[in-house]
Amino acid sequence: MMVLCLDFGNSQLKYACLAGDQLVDWGTIKEANFLSISSICQNKQIDSIILSSVIDVPTDLINALKDFAPFHQLSSTSLTQVNYKEYDKTTLGVDRLALAEGAQVLYPNSNHLSICMGTCITYNWVVDGHFKGGAISPGLMMRTKSMHDYTAHLPLISPQMDFPLLGHSTVSNLLAGTMSGIRLEVQGFIEEMRKQDPKLVVLICGGDAPFFIPKLRAFDVQFEAELIWKGLAALAKLN
């Protein structure tokens, strides 16, 4: 069974095709229209489609997807393996529903904290299959862009794999504040959560994760680049 997973975020429109648990194709979509999506389906037998979107999606695209294959748009009413009795599911973004589900699929017998480093940095905490809570903070580009946009003279910096704890120039100060700031934030969440649950599994994903994974290895984190796709594929089957 091949599932087409669509993840429409604030920064990118992404897709992945999964056959069972295997990721067979993935990439980005230029525009939210059926022509763009149908082009990636050529020579593939798509058995179902699931859409996770934090942006408004044109109605004609939804209708076209429904005609193309069995379709489900992820929402707060979707069936999930994760239990939300202790959390108001209607206030949780669908991307976070998918991430929590992916973590639950990978670690069904463990408590887990999934951290996604994208436009925003999101934290999702699940204990015994129950969603307990989370957090949202500005992501890397949001931080660098806001310091440039809201000041007269601070430059817009580019992320770097090698960044200092403290800088010795304006640019290196900005790198330290954003990159080391994020690293210390994530590290702090992990350390505080592990005080409550020393065996907590920590999963990290998202487009900006590769900048920080090398400096977080000592904290026993798992880099799961396909986390949202695994969650969406599981939700497609469940719904």
CATH class given for the domain over 89-140+165-228: alpha beta
The pTM for the full model equals: 0.92
Residue type, 76: S
**Residue 36: predicted pLDDT:** 85
Domain range annotation of the chain: 2-73, 89-140+165-228
Residues flagged as binding site for substrate: 84, 93-96, 170
Q: What is the pLDDT of residues 16-39, one digit of tens each?
A: 999 988 899 999 998 888 888 888
Residues recognised as catalytic: 95
Cα 63 to Cα 153: distance, rounded to the nearest angstrom: 48
pLDDT for res 1: 83
Instruction: List CB contacts of 50: < 8 A, sequence separation 6 or more.
Output: 3, 4, 5, 6, 71, 72, 73, 74, 232, 233, 235, 236, 239
Q: Are 2-73 and 89-140+165-228 equal in CATH topology? A: yes
**pLDDT for the residue 42:** 81
Q: Are 204 and 115 in contact (CB under 8 A)?
A: yes
Q: Which fold has domain 2-73?
A: Nucleotidyltransferase; domain 5 (3.30.420)
What value does the mean pLDDT take over residues 167-184?
97
pLDDT band at 195 (very low <50, low <70, confident <90, very high): very high
What is the pLDDT confidence band of residue 7, given thresholds at 50, 70 and 90?
very high
Binding-site residues, in ranges, read 7-14, 84, 93-96, 119, 170
Q: Which DSSP letter does residue 87 get?
A: S
Q: What are the binding residues for ATP?
A: 7-14, 119
